[in-house]
């Protein structure tokens, strides 16, 4: 049996509730959101994070915005909602699932007569349910690649907290653990937000899967021991040639893995794969406030005269990736030709 108890996104009657991931693991606090501005702020401020979860959240945000504009403007709600769509698009520029969800929801607008609430809510719920189903399928496909007997290393958080539920890379790990294909799970702490130490370790603990947290600087030493068979990560955008944008530090892991003969897997839904982005150089990389690097909690940890560069993501070249696992296909040694199977 696969343990999967965590959910971070839920619809409550007429509004959205999000588990505030900034407060984990010490507090479980749910925030109530009532409109697009609330939703965009929650995405931007890291209440919710992870590309699939951002997409699901945005879909529900559009439901609330459309309902509000229909109450205020009647049949002119489509014109009125455009500003809200722009606000949502600007929240996190690297996560392609955000744009995918907005386009999917807005594609229904001109087919709706009257109050849009029910139709849009059904679509948002479908996006949410489909994401969970896709994650379970990826879990099975990814686990099948893992030969039993070694551990895995993961980066950031790619589980139920980062998706509609179950997880991408963490879904693969959950499935492989249940099948006794892996004997240990290691999670990078993932500076500066510590998503590995705070979120992945908490989530796995909730489902009784033991995990060892390591600092990113220990990854090479860990892989050198021979304990790791696969590095398994998620993605915020995969380019048409197989280049992978993911949490900063992912490329480092891919380079180290190649040196030590460790396999490197990316698990992500097809909605994360972007045929309109030719390669990694074309992926916009979000840069956040330097204070996230210079402080820990509310305490400054760097010298007062220090500044910081804080890119949130990096790009791992396709040639360093052994497998991209989606719900529709597994792409081994990805390149533009092999990736094209996903676009039909």
Is residue 285 within 8 Å of residue 250, measured between CB atoms?
Answer: no
Mean pLDDT of 17-33: 97
Question: Hunting for tokens 């998503």 — which residue is that?
Answer: 195
Please report, for the chain, the start and end positions of each structural domain, with discontinuous segments joined by +. 9-133, 139-343
Structure tokens at 116: 């849009």
> What's the CA gap between 143 and 130, in Å, rounded?
20
Check residue 344 and give its pLDDT.
75
Q: How confident is the model at residue 95 (pLDDT cuts 50, 70, 90)?
A: confident
Judged on CB neighbours under 10 Å (0-12, 13-18, 19+), 299 is exposed
Check residue 169 and give its pLDDT.
98
Q: What is the pTM of this model?
A: 0.94
Helix (H/G/I), strand (E/B), else coil: 151: strand
pLDDT at residue 82 greater than cutoff 90: yes
Instruction: Say what percent of the chain tops pLDDT 70.
Output: 100
Mean pLDDT of 166-191: 97
Q: What is the pLDDT of residues 102-143, one digit of tens each?
A: 999 999 999 999 999 999 999 999 999 999 999 999 999 999
Is residue 64 within 8 Å of residue 42, measured between CB atoms?
Answer: no
Q: How confident is the model at residue 3 (pLDDT cuts 50, 70, 90)?
A: confident
CATH topology of domain 9-133: 1.20.120
In Å, the largest CA–CA distance within the chain is 64
Check residue 146 and give its pLDDT.
98
> What's the CA gap between 57 and 74, in Å, rounded?
24
Check residue 343 and give its pLDDT.
86
The answer to whether domain 9-133 and domain 139-343 are alike in fold is no
> What's the CA gap between 254 and 283, in Å, rounded?
18
Check residue 194 and give its pLDDT.
94
Structure tokens at 322: 């052994």
Check residue 252 and give its pLDDT.
98
Q: What is the set of active-site residues?
A: 236
Q: What is the pLDDT of residues 179-210, one digit of tens each?
A: 999 999 999 999 999 999 999 999 999 999 99
> What's the CA gap between 282 and 291, in Å, rounded?
27
Give the DSSP letter of residue 199: I
Angle at 329 between CA 178 and CA 276, to 5 degrees: 130
Helix axis angle for 51-73 and 36-44, nearest 10°, is 160
Could you give the strand order of the β-sheet that contains 150-154, starting from the edge strand earlier in sequence?
212-214, 182-188, 150-154, 228-233, 263-267, 323-325, 330-332
Strand pairing category for 237-239 and 244-247: antiparallel
Q: How confident is the model at residue 298 (pLDDT cuts 50, 70, 90)?
A: confident
- Hey, what's the torsion of the CAs at 20, 24, 26, 27, to 10 degrees? 20
Q: What is the pLDDT of residues 232-250, one digit of tens each?
A: 999 999 999 999 999 999 9
Mean pLDDT of 298-311: 93
Instruction: Say what percent of the chain tops pLDDT 90.
Output: 96
Strand pairing category for 150-154 and 182-188: parallel
Angle at 255 between CA 223 and CA 226, to 5 degrees: 15
Is residue 188 within 8 Å of residue 215, measured between CB atoms?
Answer: yes
Structure tokens at 181: 């294909």
On average, the pLDDT of the chain sits at 96
Structure tokens at 187: 């999670």
Mean pLDDT of 174-183: 97
Check residue 47 and give its pLDDT.
97
Is residue 317 within 8 Å of residue 243, measured between CB atoms?
Answer: yes
pLDDT at residue 338 greater than cutoff 90: yes
Mean pLDDT of 34-55: 96
Is residue 92 within 8 Å of residue 162, measured between CB atoms?
Answer: no
Helix (H/G/I), strand (E/B), else coil: 259: helix
Angle at 24 between CA 249 and CA 41, to 5 degrees: 80
CATH class for the region spanning 139-343: alpha beta
Check residue 2 and give its pLDDT.
82
């Amino acid at each position: 049996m696969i343990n999967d108890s965590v959910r971070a996104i839920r619809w409550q009657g007429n509004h959205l509730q999000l588990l505030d991931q900034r407060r984990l693991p010490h507090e479980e606090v749910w925030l109530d959101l009532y409109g697009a501005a609330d939703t965009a702020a929650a995405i931007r401020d890291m209440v919710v994070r992870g590309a699939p979860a951002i997409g699901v959240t945005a879909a529900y945000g559009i439901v609330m915005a459309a309902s509000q504009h229909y109450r205020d403007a009647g049949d002119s709600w489509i014109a009125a909602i455009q500003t809200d769509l722009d606000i949502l698009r600007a929240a996190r520029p690297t996560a392609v699932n955000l744009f995918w969800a907005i386009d999917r929801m807005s594609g229904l607008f001109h087919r709706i007569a009257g109050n849009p609430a029910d139709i849009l809510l059904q679509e948002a719920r479908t996006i949410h349910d489909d994401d969970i189903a896709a994650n379970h399928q990826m879990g099975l496909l990814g686990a099948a690649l893992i030969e039993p007997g070694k551990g895995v290393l993961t980066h950031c958080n790619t589980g139920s907290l980062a998706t509609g539920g179950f997880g991408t890379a963490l879904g693969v790990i959950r499935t492989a653990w249940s099948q006794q294909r892996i004997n240990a799970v290691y999670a990078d702490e993932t500076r500066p937000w510590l998503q590995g130490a705070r979120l992945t370790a908490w989530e796995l603990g909730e489902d009784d899967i033991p995990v060892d947290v390591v600092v990113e600087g220990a990854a090479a030493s860990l892989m050198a021991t021979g304990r790791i068979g696969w590095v398994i990560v998620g993605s915020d955008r995969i380019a048409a040639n197989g280049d992978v944008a993911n949490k900063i530090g992912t490329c480092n892991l891919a380079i180290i893995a190649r040196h030590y003969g460790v396999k490197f897997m990316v698990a992500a839904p097809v909605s994360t794969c972007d045929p309109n982005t030719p390669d990694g150089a074309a992926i916009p990389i979000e840069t956040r406030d330097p204070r996230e690097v210079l402080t820990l909690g509310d305490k400054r940890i760097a010298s007062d005269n220090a500044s910081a560069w804080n890119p949130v993501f990096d790009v791992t070249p396709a040639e360093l990736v052994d497998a991209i696992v989606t719900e529709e296909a597994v792409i081994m040694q990805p390149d533009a030709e092999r990736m094209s199977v996903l676009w039909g």
